[in-house]
Homo-oligomer: A and B are copies of this chain.
Amino acid sequence: MGLKNDLSTETGWEIAKNNFEEDQLITTGSNFMIGNGYLGYRGTLAEWGADEYVGCIVTDTYDMADGKWRELCNAPNGLFTKLVVEGEEMSVFDSKVLNYQQKIDLKNAVYNRETTWQAESGVTVDLAVEKFASYDNLHLIAMDYKFSVDEKTEIKVVTGIDGEVWDLNGKHFKDYRLLEEDNLLAIETTTGEQEINVDVVEGLNILGAEDVEEKIEKKEEEIYRHLTFELEADSEVVLRKVAGIYSSNDVDNPLEAAKSDVEEGLEIGYSHLKENHINCWDELWSVSDIKIEGDLEAQTVLRFNLYHNIICTPAHSDELPIGARGLSCQAYQGAAFWDQEIFNMPMFLYTQPEIAKNILTYRYKNLDGARNKARQLGYYGAYYPWISGKSGEELCPDFFFENVLTGRKIRNHFNDWQIHVSPDIAYAVWHYYQATDDWEFIEDFGAEIVFEVAQFLVSHAYFKKDKNRYEIVKVVGPDEYHENVDNNAFTNYQAQYVLDKAVDIYNKLEETAPEKLSDLSERIDIDESDLEMWEEMAELMYLPEPDEDTLLIEQFEGYFDLEDVTPEEVEERLQDPHEYLGWPVGVATRTQVTKQADLLQLFCMQNRFSEEVMRANYDYYEPRCEHGSSLSPSAHSIIAGKIGYLDDAYDYFMESCTVDLYNRSKAIHGGTFIGGIHTAACGAAWKMIVQGFAGLELPETPEDNEVVSFTPGLPEKWEKVKFNFCYRYNEFEITMTEDEFIIKAAADNDEEAGFKVAGEKKAISSGEKAQFKVE
């Protein structure tokens, strides 16, 4: 099971794996990946290929090969290198391995691999590989490949570009052009559907080898250098490879761009490239890092998640989504879910708000796709897709999972019934405004998103005349095991919230930017009557209230009538371990067992519920949750933290942070590959600290000038937690201990940006109030 025992906790900055487990290839490759938001390069060995899930997933290369799934391309592997010792290909599968380690240095975003073999010839071979995906030049990956032997030996190295790639859903590249020019190798290739060029150029420097004989081998989809030489005992050879990757969606001439970057990279040299890369990461960590004192394991797993949240995010672009599995593989089509705004974005919003702005601008630029989706389904306004690629069109196919018992496809309704995505995105727009006071963004982008979502809600909701209320029926909430539900509390509350904000924004725009409002109104065809409709709907939206006696809020109408069994009992009913538990006939559907607890997610998003209500609902829903979603444990941690269940908060924190690291999740479910890094859980790590343990709550609108509130409570063994916090584009450093809560403003902050702080310490054993200090 995963990495738990190998976790290197000495510095809090490293994860390592000291044994090779063949059945963990998918997970290990994801956990040890490097990346930079433009590309993700899996943590695989240099000598591996498609069978070992080697991947170099490139953003903005959406292509459909099987007529059903559109996904990102896996580029030809420019770092492919295999070592042949006296004719024996050194392999961790077939050769005798004496020593093995894989490692990520999270601080520098550098991957290391060491292997010692005893070759059949008797010679001992030491290999040490280091690689990184440059954060300085996003199109470059670089590798330092170093080896030595203990006896003079004949060596062959095969290194070049392997274009025979692992694909989840069909082959994307339809033709390959293999090039050899100026001592560089290149593969130019084109995708079958979208005709995107994806070009990879490789350059190599060799140090320490003499009399190297070089031959070029070209196969259909591969191009390699065969380097043959004699190696003296204890003499080290170093190959320094640089590969450049561009697609025709990046630049007009991707081959030239890649060549030029590689040439420049070779000229600068590996060490310098690495230094530039590390400098970028120093800067990233200077705002993103969270320090935990007293718990090295927690510190390490936390940073593992922050690292992955950074590398999965195309921060360089305001046109690209954050994939649900990031760039760790092709699963979930390299596309964004509501996870993007609700799980990935907060860390950026409070550390690098301009990236949060990019994320929301992406949604702005995808409005047409959302409008099309709405129209196709008989609505108007903007209905954001469940799976959002680049165009904003819905990428989720009608048939997502399959029934493994019958082999038949399942008509999941994620694409047409899971409407909460739209209000969630509008909610995030407001969240951005709350945290930044960036009204200009609202004027130029946010208002249009929020208004169009409000319009969509109008076109979707029904009015129940006899009850004088609006209802939202036939939806799927975050708990996807229950489809086709009515008045899902999460959805209704979120819809009401957004309608309310739409009204606020409209009214404020009338004051601040009447021309912009009138332009926008004309463009999206709204007027005062729509405003009135939003007002009415916000007022009359049915919001399931806590029961007077039990304080419970029903997740959706009829939930409490469902069979009340435990997740364990439900799982015992599986006839096949790969069965999908949800709609329409999965074993959870007719029970109260949830994939994730909708109400707890709602409590994470809205501050309107009392601690008593949150506690009653946590007590009820928590034991009924199967945590079939990686979004689930973090919500449990945050709410447990809010209600003073600090042990639960800690346990769920660790569970959420280790969903990938300790290999807790299924790679295939209901017949569909869903492996890879759970990026929502990565983003959630930051939320669990700041929203959960620190208990951050913002004022409802920035102009209220209300106090920002913290309600800190630390797990027992945590001595100190320290993180950066950006509010209204000004930086603060926050330090929490058992007794103190210190907020330190950066020297150059605007005077107005300072914020008042209120709050009290959570009910932990000591019961003492924290000291709130603003320095």
Specify which of B380, B410, B484 is in contact with A484 (CB 8 Å cutoff). Answer: B484
Q: Does A533 contact B (CB under 8 A)?
A: yes
The CA of A225 and the CA of B508, in the complex, are separated in Å by 96
B residues in contact with A589, CB < 8 Å:
411
Number of copies: 2
Q: Choose, from A152-160, A457-465, A635-643, the stretch at the interface.
A: A457-465
Q: Does A744 contact B (CB under 8 A)?
A: no
Cβ proximity bits A580-592 to B, threshold 8 Å, 1 near / 0 not: 0000110001100
The CA of A484 and the CA of B411, in the complex, are separated in Å by 13
Q: Does A466 contact B (CB under 8 A)?
A: yes
The CA of A260 and the CA of B590, in the complex, are separated in Å by 53
Q: Does A341 contact B (CB under 8 A)?
A: no
Chain B's closest residue to A413 (CB) is B484
B residues in contact with A474, CB < 8 Å:
473-474, 484, 486
Specify which of B462, B575, B590 is in contact with A473 (CB 8 Å cutoff). Answer: B462
Would A466 and B471 count as touching, CB distance under 8 A? no
B residues in contact with A207, CB < 8 Å:
none
Q: Does A5 contact B (CB under 8 A)?
A: no
Chain B's closest residue to A484 (CB) is B484
Would B466 and A462 count as touching, CB distance under 8 A? no
Q: Does A59 contact B (CB under 8 A)?
A: no
Q: Does A378 contact B (CB under 8 A)?
A: yes
Would A411 and B590 count as touching, CB distance under 8 A? yes
Q: Nearest chain B CB to A560's CB is how many angstroms away?
A: 13
Q: Does A405 contact B (CB under 8 A)?
A: yes
Q: Does A408 contact B (CB under 8 A)?
A: yes
Within 8 A of B (CB), among A547-566: 557
B residues in contact with A403, CB < 8 Å:
585
Within 8 A of B (CB), among A389-423: 403, 405-406, 408, 410-411
Would B462 and A464 count as touching, CB distance under 8 A? yes
Specify which of B378, B405, B465, B533 is in contact with A405 (CB 8 Å cutoff). Answer: B405
Known: A406-B405, A411-B590. A462 touches B471 (CB 8 A): yes
Within 8 A of B (CB), among A650-671: none
The CA of A429 and the CA of B585, in the complex, are separated in Å by 39
Would A557 and B378 count as touching, CB distance under 8 A? yes
Known: A406-B575, A474-B473. A533 touches B462 (CB 8 A): no
The CA of A486 and the CA of B486, in the complex, are separated in Å by 14
Specify which of B459, B465, B473, B575 is in contact with A466 (CB 8 Å cutoff). Answer: B459
Q: Nearest chain B CB to A276's CB is how many angstroms away?
A: 54
Tell which of A405, A462, A474 has the most Cβ of chain B within 10 Å.
Answer: A462
Would B465 and A458 count as touching, CB distance under 8 A? yes
The CA of A474 and the CA of B533, in the complex, are separated in Å by 25
Q: Nearest chain B CB to A587's CB is how many angstroms away?
A: 8
Would A585 and B473 count as touching, CB distance under 8 A? no
Q: Nearest chain B CB to A120's CB is how many angstroms away?
A: 52
Specify which of B458, B463, B557, B585 is in contact with A408 (CB 8 Å cutoff). Answer: B585
The CA of A557 and the CA of B416, in the complex, are separated in Å by 14
The CA of A411 and the CA of B575, in the complex, are separated in Å by 18
Within 8 A of B (CB), among A517-542: 533
Q: Nearest chain B CB to A729's CB is how many angstroms away?
A: 39
The CA of A584 and the CA of B589, in the complex, are separated in Å by 12
Q: Nearest chain B CB to A572's CB is how many angstroms away?
A: 14
Within 8 A of B (CB), among A360-408: 378, 380, 403, 405-406, 408
Q: Nearest chain B CB to A264's CB is how many angstroms away?
A: 53
The CA of A463 and the CA of B462, in the complex, are separated in Å by 6
B residues in contact with A463, CB < 8 Å:
462-465
Would B459 and A533 count as touching, CB distance under 8 A? no
Chain B's closest residue to A470 (CB) is B465
B residues in contact with A406, CB < 8 Å:
405-406, 575, 585
Chain B's closest residue to A381 (CB) is B466
The CA of A463 and the CA of B405, in the complex, are separated in Å by 41
Within 8 A of B (CB), among A602-636: none
The CA of A408 and the CA of B410, in the complex, are separated in Å by 16
Within 8 A of B (CB), among A463-514: 463-466, 471, 473-474, 484, 486
The CA of A458 and the CA of B484, in the complex, are separated in Å by 22
B residues in contact with A585, CB < 8 Å:
403, 406, 408, 410, 584-585
B residues in contact with A465, CB < 8 Å:
458, 463, 533
Q: Nearest chain B CB to A109's CB is how many angstroms away?
A: 46
Cβ proximity bits A432-465 to B, threshold 8 Å, 1 near / 0 not: 0000000000000000000000000011001111
Q: Nearest chain B CB to A731's CB is how many angstroms away?
A: 46
The CA of A93 and the CA of B589, in the complex, are separated in Å by 48
Known: A378-B557, A408-B585. A458 touches B466 (CB 8 A): yes
Specify which of B378, B462, B484 is in contact with A462 (CB 8 Å cutoff). Answer: B462
Cβ proximity bits A664-694 to B, threshold 8 Å, 1 near / 0 not: 0000000000000000000000000000000
Q: List 23 A-B contacts (CB under 8 A).
A: A378-B557, A380-B466, A403-B585, A405-B405, A405-B406, A406-B575, A406-B585, A408-B585, A410-B585, A411-B589, A411-B590, A458-B465, A458-B466, A459-B466, A462-B463, A462-B464, A462-B471, A463-B463, A463-B464, A465-B533, A474-B474, A474-B484, A474-B486
Given contacts A473-B473, A474-B486, 13 further A-B contacts (CB under 8 A): A403-B585, A405-B405, A408-B585, A410-B585, A462-B462, A462-B464, A463-B463, A463-B464, A473-B474, A474-B474, A584-B584, A584-B585, A585-B585
Q: Which 10 A-B pairs have the closest CB atoms?
A: A462-B462, A584-B584, A463-B463, A405-B406, A463-B465, A459-B466, A585-B585, A458-B466, A411-B590, A584-B585
